[in-house]
Amino acid sequence: MSNYPRKPVTARLPVSALSLLEEATVLAGRSSLEDFLVQAAVEKAQRLIAEPRVMELSQRDTEAFYQALDHPPPPNEQLIAAFQRHQAMLGQVAN
């Protein structure tokens, strides 16, 4: 991240929060409080952004998913029609 342009961000923290963050900075082996805060904020942001994109399945649902991948059902009429429309849009009319 150090290769990118930087913009200042300020925050007013309770003294107790600042003390906690400074202690965590040392324990994490980070070179500065700023470095620690940036790393922590980026990691939290990445988790928040990824959460809605990640789906967790039960063991039973996982097995059903893999079973469907290994043995897909034959295409239904709607899927066949959609494929034909797609082919027509590409100028490749299917037989």
Q: What is the pLDDT of residue 84?
A: 92
3-state secondary structure of 70: helix
Q: What is the per-residue pLDDT for 2?
A: 60
Round to whole Å and give the CA distance between 36 and 34. Answer: 5
Residues 6 or more apart whose CB falls under 8 angstroms from that of 94 comprise 83, 84, 87
pLDDT at residue number 1: 57
Query: pTM for the full model?
Result: 0.53
Q: Report which residue type is found at 67.
A: Q
Proportion of the chain above pLDDT 90, given as a percent: 75
Q: From residue 85, how far is each of 16, 23, 73, 92 by CA, in Å?
A: 63, 62, 21, 10
